Amino acid sequence: MTRESESGLPVERVYGPADLTGWDPAEKLGEPGAYPYTRGVYPTMYTGRPWTMRQYAGFGTAAESNARYRQLIAHGTTGLSVAFDLPTQMGHDSDAPLAHGEVGKVGVAIDSVEDMRVLFDGIPLDQVSTSMTINAPAALLLLLYQLVAEEQGVPADRLTGTIQNDVLKEYIARGTYIFPPGPSLRLTADIFKYCTAEIPKWNTISISGYHMAEAGASPAQEIAFTLADGIEYVRTAVAAGMDIDDFAPRLSFFFVARTTLLEEVAKFRAARRIWARVMREDFGARNPKSWMLRFHTQTAGVQLTAQQPEVNLVRVAVQALGAVLGGTQSLHTNSFDEAIALPTEKSARLALRTQQVLAYETDVPATVDPFAGSYAVERLTDDVEAAALDLMRKVEDLGGAEAAIERGFQKAEIERNAYRIAQETDSGERVVVGVNRFRLDEEEPYEPLRVDPAIEARQRERLAELRAGRDQGAVGAALDALKKAAEGEENVLYPMKEALRGRATVGEVCHALREVWGSHVPTETF
């Protein structure tokens, strides 16, 4: 009996040479580190050094998150990844009415340069790579980071890291947008230009399929819609007058790793191949670094269960193995208790140890691309690639990613797939251990980490002190200069940085831009 993959593609009982008839290994595979990068973007991959172990963390106040970062670094984390709370992600200060009840809950609350200073206290920013999962207000958080680095005496050209800055997927799958798509894309182009001139080693965007997958996208949908968004960003930057080889080498991607290990490995290989061809053949990029799809991976939060949470340790290990076999550049492993609450220090440490076991106790990093030539994986790679390209053509037929988003195409496709998965789970056709099979009559007690609700009051007090102690006239003038830039064609990051340096808050800066650009109101049209 033929099974179906997560993408709804057939998975045969056995594969052999006949499944690769007409298949040219030189064209399809190439060598590691060479076009079309099916086998990885670097010739040696992990044989020289392992991937970056980048643990995602952030909760409560900046001081609490700083303590967690120090713990992770002490345990061997080689890169930090910052989670921000919902008010910060939506461009609201902690004392805004809309922020009530959400301050510090799903990430750290950052209202101003003073919070960012506390967040990275004692962490040398020229020695650590930092990823920030922030989208609509990404420019603000990057500039706050740069300001703190300047206070540490670290020049901007020594800063390394990534801002997610992928607002298109917010309209598709996640919802933490602020401005309409047009101004959001303009802001993205301004970030590209600013970083090219000021922070050259920074990855200016992490084009994300992860959140689409969490919303229900299949592997084929995940890479199709993510790469379509990438094409839209490239077009925007080129239309703004940038040379593709000036910014494309700093583009990066962010994908999920599910428990369906073989299809996930195939997905990563197919994504690299598609992107390389798009950049070289469609956009005419000349720099080989512009052709490389470099990506961060996070294990699948949506597949974690609150039932028998220790089983998540197994799921995460399998997912992490898939990411490594697929050639990821950096990896975050989820903690086993995240379906219940924020990770405890112990569970976060266990998640990191999972990566360390893969890196130092297995033979997976000893050879580059262990699955190369596998009949099953190569056929699955071709199948996922074909399905993704078909979806990408449909997006193009609608006028590109932005136009398709306005019509609700990607969102509708993902919702259909999510409904299919839910039906299969409810019927028992899709087994979820501990949920619809192999259940316990009574779950064992578990004491989760809880965020102190008093954090919101403390953040309000900090904001009141900040506003009382700053030059209000200078802040007002800086915000006016920002609005003037937003009304014209000037790069908004330069006046934005001066406003933040003068201790304007995240909410005040975002509100100033809302006054000029408006706010996005979603439509359901497809």
pLDDT classification of 447: cutoffs 50, 70, 90? confident
Q: Are 17 and 7 in contact (CB under 8 A)?
A: no
Instruction: Give the residue-averaged pLDDT of 293-322.
Output: 97
pLDDT tens for 405-423 read 999 999 999 999 999 999 9
Q: Which two tokens stand for residue 200?
A: 């050259």
At 196-227, the pLDDT tens digits run 999 999 999 999 999 999 999 999 999 999 99
For the ranges 156-160, 441-445, 497-501, which has the lowest average pLDDT? Answer: 441-445
Alpha carbon distance 404, 398 (integer Å): 6
Res 1: pLDDT: 58
Contacts of 467 (CB under 8 A, 6+ apart): none
The pLDDT, as a whole number, for residue 27 is 81
Question: What share of the chain in percent tops pLDDT 90?
Answer: 88
Q: What angle do CA 501, 502, 504 make, to 5 degrees?
A: 95
The C-alpha atoms of residue 220 and residue 222 are separated, in whole angstroms, by 5
Task: Say if residue 291's pLDDT is above 90.
Answer: yes
Please write down the long-range contacts of 468-472, taking CB distance under 8 Å and 24 or more positions apart. Answer: 470/502, 470/503, 471/502
Angle separating helix axes 138-152 and 493-501, nearest 10 degrees: 60
**Residue-wise pLDDT tens digits, 53-77:** 988 888 889 999 999 999 989 988 8
Residue with tokens 């230009």: 193
Alpha-carbon distance of 132 to 199, in angstroms, equals: 15
d(CA 152, CA 489) in angstroms, rounded, equals 32
pLDDT at 23 > cutoff 90? no
pTM, 2 dp: 0.92
What is the bridge-based pairing of β-strands 205-208 and 251-257? Answer: parallel
Residue type, 474: A
Q: How far apart are CA 343 and CA 340, in angstroms?
A: 9
pLDDT at 524 over 80: no
**pLDDT for 3:** 87
Mean pLDDT of 176-187: 95
Distance separating alpha carbons of residues 65 and 87, to the nearest angstrom: 16
- Rounded average pLDDT over 394-401: 98
Distance CA 246, CA 243 (A): 5
What DSSP character marks residue 342?
A: B
**Cβ contacts of 383 within 8 Å, gap of 6 or more:** 5, 7, 9, 10, 266
% the chain with pLDDT above 70: 99
pLDDT for the residue numbered 525 = 58
Q: Is the peptide bond before 36 cis (omega within 30 degrees of 0)?
A: yes
Rounded CA-CA distance 66/463 in Å is 19
The mean of the pLDDT values for the chain is 95
DSSP string, 241-274: T--HHHHGGGEEEEEEE-S-HHHHHHHHHHHHHH
> What is the torsional sign of CA 153, 156, 158, 159?
positive
Mean pLDDT on 378-393: 97
The band of 153, judged by pLDDT with boundaries at 50, 70 and 90, is: very high
Question: CA 412 to CA 526: how far, in whole Å?
Answer: 7
- Alpha carbons 520 and 526: distance in angstroms, whole number: 17
Q: H helices within 248-374, ranges in order?
A: 261-277, 288-291, 311-325, 345-360
Q: What is residue 433's DSSP assignment?
A: B
What residues pair up with 251 in beta bridges, in sequence order? Answer: 205
Contact between residue 305 and residue 312 where contact means Cβ atoms under 8 Å apart:
yes
Question: With 80 as the cut, is the pLDDT of residue 523 above it?
Answer: no
Residue 452: what pLDDT?
82
Predicted confidence band at 349 (pLDDT cuts at 50, 70, 90)? very high
Residue with tokens 């980048």: 54
**CA–CA distance, 215 with 415 (Å, rounded to integer):** 8
With beta carbons less than 8 A apart as the criterion, state whether 516 and 509 touch. Answer: no
Dihedral sign computed on CA atoms, order 107, 111, 112, 115: negative
